[in-house]
Structure 1
Amino acid sequence: MKDAIRPSDEDPRRRRRTERGGGCGDRLRRRLEELERENQRLRREVFELMLDKQMLTEAIRGSL
């Protein structure tokens, strides 16, 4: 009976998953790269908007 219950590290399904690289690693890596690119794009947009706001604020102060 003891042989019928294997520890999880001897589970053949787990062993196959780790041998193949963990299953969905490529998909997760691509998604992470996509999110990082989008994050950089959004950071640039926020920076541009902050510069625009600063420029407009200075222009308003100068006209008063």
Structure 2
Amino acid sequence: MHRARAGSGRGRSPAGCWRIRRLLEDCEQAFCGETWRCVRVRSAADARHTAELLKQRSEDVAHPVEA
């Protein structure tokens, strides 16, 4: 198992991420390509939505509205 160096700021090695990606791609080819495509689209949409919410929240904190 790969361990990140202390202070490196990363929890995963590029090689580890590559292995996970390869595993998911192999699963897609072998079992459920359509399901993986749907999950990928929904996951990307969720990530965009979360990023937008976090952006709005940080703007609200930086510039609070006074009542």
TM-score norm. by structure 1 comes to: 0.51
Higher helix share: 1
For residues 13-63 of structure 1, the C-alpha deviation after alignment (integer angstroms, 9 at most, x for no partner) is xxxxxxxxxxxx687100100000000000000000000000000112x96
Q: Any gaps of 5 or more consecutive residues in structure 1?
A: 1-24
What RMSD over aligned residues (CA atoms) do the two structures have, in Å? 2.3
Higher normalized contact order (CA 8 Å, seq sep 6+, divided by chain length): 2
Whole-Å Cα distance in 1 between the matches of residues 30 and 52 of structure 2?
A: 33
Whole-Å Cα distance in 2 between the matches of residues 57 and 35 of structure 1?
A: 32
Q: Which among 31, 41, 51 is matched to residue 47 of structure 1?
A: 51
Q: 1:31 — aligned with what?
A: 35
Larger-gyration structure (1/2): 1
Q: Identity over aligned residues, as a percent?
A: 8
Q: Any gaps of 5 or more consecutive residues in structure 2?
A: 1-28
Q: 2:62 — aligned with what?
A: 58
Whole-Å Cα distance in 2 between the matches of residues 27 and 36 of structure 1?
A: 15
TM-score norm. by structure 2 comes to: 0.49
